[in-house]
Structures are given as C-alpha cells and as structure tokens.
Chain A
C-alpha cells in the first residue's frame, strides 16, 4: 500500500520545482515588488505543507498556490496599511482579477532571471538572488552551500532587493541589442553555481554542494526552454551534463579525486552523456551552417570528445587540440592555454607541452592546477626532482582534501 504522507510530500516537492519561479515571477509582475512576491510565495508553500496532508493535494496545485500566494501578498500589503502608497493601490486595482492562466506567463520567469542576474548587482548577490528567487532554495540552504553564515546571506539578498527597488532596476527582458551580453551574464551565474558544487567534490563538504550542480542544471534547462535558439545556452547545458555524467567516477572510495585518465568510465552516466552529445551535435550543425560557437559550446564539444572515448587511449587528441585552438581564439586566457597543453602532451609529447606552458608561470603561479600539470609533464620526462617540487607546490595550493590526496599519491609514486 502506498503511504499517503509520502505522496503529499512528493506533490509538494514537485509543485515547488515546477511552480516556485513562475509564482515569484507572476507576483513580482503584479505587485511590482520582489520582496512581497518572495514572501507571499514562501508563505503559500508553508500553507501547502500545513494543509495538503490533511486535505490531500489539490487537483491543480499551481492554481491553488497562485490563489494562496496572491491572497498572502494582498494580506501583507493591507497589514502594512500602505493606503498612502498610491502606486500599490493602483496596481491592486488594476490587476485584481482572477489569476492568469499558468501557460500565458511563461516569459515572466525570464524577466525574473534577468533581474536577478542584472550586471549592476555584485556577482555573489546575483548568485544568491537567482538561487532564492528562481531556484526557490531557502536562505539557510544557500548560505550552507557557499559556506557563509545564514545572516550574512540574508543581508546579501536583502541588500540586493533593496538596490533593485531604490535604483529601479527594470523588470523586463533586455532589448535585442543588450540580449547577448545579458544572457552571457546569466550563464556566468549558472556556471558559477555549478562549479561551486562541482569543484568542492570533497567528502567532508556539505552534500548540498552536490545539489548545487543539480540545481544549476535544472535552472539551465529552464533557461534553455525559455531561450531555445540561443547556442551558448545549449552549449552550457551540454557542458554541465557531460561534466555531471562523470561525477560517479570522480572521487574514489577512499575520498581521493580521480583524474580523467584514471576514471572508471563504466560508471559514467550514459543518459546524461547521450543528452549532452545530442545538444553538442545540434550546435555542430548550427556551426556548420555558419553560427560561430561561443566558449560554452566549444567547451561542451571538448567534453563530448572525452566522453565519446571508451578508454583514455581512444581519445581523439587532435580533435581536442583543434577545439582548444578555437577556444583560445575566443578566450585567450592562461587557464585555457594550460588545458590545451594536456592535448599537446598526448600528440607531440611532454617536452613540447612543457615548452608551451613554461611562459604561463607568471600568470598561474598561484594556481594549483598549473603546478600539477607541470609536475605530471616533468614526471613523464623522468625529471623526478623537479617533478616532486612541482607536486609540493600544487599540494600546498590545492583547495580541498580529495584533490590534495590525489596529488600526494602521485608525488609519492615518484619513488
């Protein structure tokens, strides 16, 4: 027999995933205030948690939540006795009809995404606001994921909302001229959320950081649904899927980070890989038709090459290097040049790769991956002493235990 309490909980979680952003977006539109929208929607879900177990989930959870959230918002406005606030009175009078049908306000969520990721807000504020308003994470959840105090996170979000209001950051989809830059700002926020969950990867980190990769993918899927023709959105989604697919192989049983060449490829997630490859093929077709790919599309293509190889030895390194050449043209950063050297080492040998990365020393001297890559190349050249010194430097700089464990093992294997 099914447990009705489990069904109700599942219904609430599903409604939270499907309706949260839509509700916040619709209420922001109606009441012209993010703060009122956020609080009213949170209260509507609290009411659902209270009432659905007793009454059973309503036949149309979205409509139930919309009506409840609208009532909560109106209650708050009345409670605050803002009768002198003519603007709010006007909005209430103007739009006090029945809630709009849910499908008709699809792009409201896009407005919500753009306001949360507005360039006038600091990056950490954009991330926090997006996870709260669009993702529906609670403030303590976001705080835990970014390893800050809940009160700090609360202040960050409150300050961002206050700035939006005081500086009048508009609630709209940017004009066609501004759209590419603004979309790329949104993608930067989502990729940062993903990386925050991905790079931690350590067994002692809060498990919610894993949820961050899932959340980033979920939000990127949403953006993809809202902007289906944007190549970089597709590229970022593919990139995240192909990285996420390898997660089961990334950390060994004893908590050590496993590099790509040592991963057990049998445990990679075939469904995520298939979906990522589909998106990459779609973008390759667009590129063949003349659309110049951006950095996320190229990064996704590189990951598609890796995830196409059943064994590291089957990797098409010339393809990887060609893609890195394209990437360098779009984004000539030293980190990209460093990653390109991995392909060079496979094609032209470690000596050539070492020559390629030596000039990056000045830019990357504080970056553990630079020293790790250099250590690996020196090891392959039989220069054990120099390799050991480079590993030492990499271990010193590595941010988490899983990573330093892997580097320590490699260093100790030098003998």
Chain B
C-alpha cells in the first residue's frame, strides 16, 4: 500500500540547514526500512503555472491553481502495510521537516 505524505507549509521559508539535516536522517531511515518510494521538495507556489487544455486551446495561467495561505511544499511517497504505520512515519517526518503533514492513500 502506498501513501502520499504532503508537507504543508505556511511560512513561505525554505527548510533551514538543521531541518535539511534531519530530513536527510529521516530519508535514510525510510530507505533502510523499505518504506521509501520517492520524495521531493517543491518550489514556491509563486513559481507555479496552470495549464488548461480541455477546450481545444491550451490556456496558460500564472500562479497556483488556488491561492491559499497553506500550500504544498514537498512530499514523500511511502510504502506501508497500513495507516497506523503510515501515521507513525508521518509523525516522524513532521518532526524532521518541522511542518504539518497530510497523509493520503493511493487508490
């Protein structure tokens, strides 16, 4: 079973060196224990572009698809047998990156 762990940020700041260091420790652990699938940090919502090609002509819009105070700053995709394991990992991930985390199952 795979889960998406979304990192929710409202600070507008990049991770500090300390946060980066503890994220690396957490990532190593995910890999060592076989939970690691993929992870990445994202550029700020200001760098986002929305494209809509449903109508035949691709319409390009500057900025994120929705303006919110809280935004997605990064994510992990993990492999876990059930939600309890995923929540335990998310709790550690939240501590490591010092941000809130949303856990959501893949279909």
Query: Counting CB contacts under 8 A, is A58 at the interface?
Result: no
Contact of B105 among A168, A170, A174 (CB under 8 A): A168
Contacts of A167 in B (CB 8 A): 83, 103-105
Give the size of the chain A interface in residues (CB under 8 angstroms).
9
Q: Mark B37-75, 1 if CB is under 8 A from A, else 0.
A: 000000000000000000000000000000000000000
CB-based contact A168/B82 at 8 Å: yes
Query: Would you list which residues of chain B between 24 and 41 have a CB under 8 Å from chain A?
Result: none
Bound-complex Cα distance A327 to B27 (A)? 42
Contacts of B84 in A (CB 8 A): 169-170, 174, 178
Residue of B nearest to A170 (CB): B82
Contacts of A174 in B (CB 8 A): 84
Bound-complex Cα distance A167 to B81 (A)? 10
Bound-complex Cα distance A167 to B105 (A)? 5
Query: Counting CB contacts under 8 A, is A1 at the interface?
Result: no
Contact of A120 among B81, B87, B107 (CB under 8 A): B87
Contacts of B81 in A (CB 8 A): 168, 170
Query: Counting CB contacts under 8 A, is A166 at the interface?
Result: yes
Bound-complex Cα distance A166 to B1 (A)? 10
Least Cβ–Cβ distance between A86 and chain B, in angstroms: 16
Bound-complex Cα distance A167 to B103 (A)? 9
Query: Would you list which residues of chain A between 153 and 171 have a CB under 8 Å from chain B?
Result: 166-170
Contacts of B107 in A (CB 8 A): 166
Residue of A nearest to B105 (CB): A167
Q: Mark A162-189, 1 if CB is under 8 A from B, else 0.
A: 0000111110001000100000000000
Identify which of B1, B83, B104 gathers the most chain A CB atoms within 10 Å of its CB: B83
Residue of A nearest to B104 (CB): A167
CB-based contact B1/A168 at 8 Å: yes
Bound-complex Cα distance A166 to B2 (A)? 11
Contacts of B83 in A (CB 8 A): 118, 120, 167-170
Least Cβ–Cβ distance between A125 and chain B, in angstroms: 14
Q: Mark B66-107, 1 if CB is under 8 A from A, else 0.
A: 000000000000000111100100000000000000011101
Contacts of B1 in A (CB 8 A): 168
Least Cβ–Cβ distance between B98 and chain A, in angstroms: 22
Least Cβ–Cβ distance between B50 and chain A, in angstroms: 27
Bound-complex Cα distance A280 to B68 (A)? 52
Residue of B nearest to A168 (CB): B82
Contacts of A168 in B (CB 8 A): 1, 81-83, 105
Identify which of B82, B84, B103, B107 gathers the most chain A CB atoms within 10 Å of its CB: B84
Contacts of B104 in A (CB 8 A): 167
Bound-complex Cα distance A117 to B79 (A)? 24
Bound-complex Cα distance A358 to B83 (A)? 45
Give residues in B with beta carbon < 8 Å to A: 1, 81-84, 87, 103-105, 107
A-B contact pairs, 21 of them (CB 8 A): A118-B83, A120-B83, A120-B87, A166-B105, A166-B107, A167-B83, A167-B103, A167-B104, A167-B105, A168-B1, A168-B81, A168-B105, A169-B82, A169-B83, A169-B84, A170-B81, A170-B82, A170-B83, A170-B84, A174-B84, A178-B84
Smallest CB-CB A-B distances: 10 pairs:
A170-B82, A167-B105, A168-B82, A167-B83, A169-B83, A170-B84, A168-B1, A168-B83, A166-B105, A120-B83
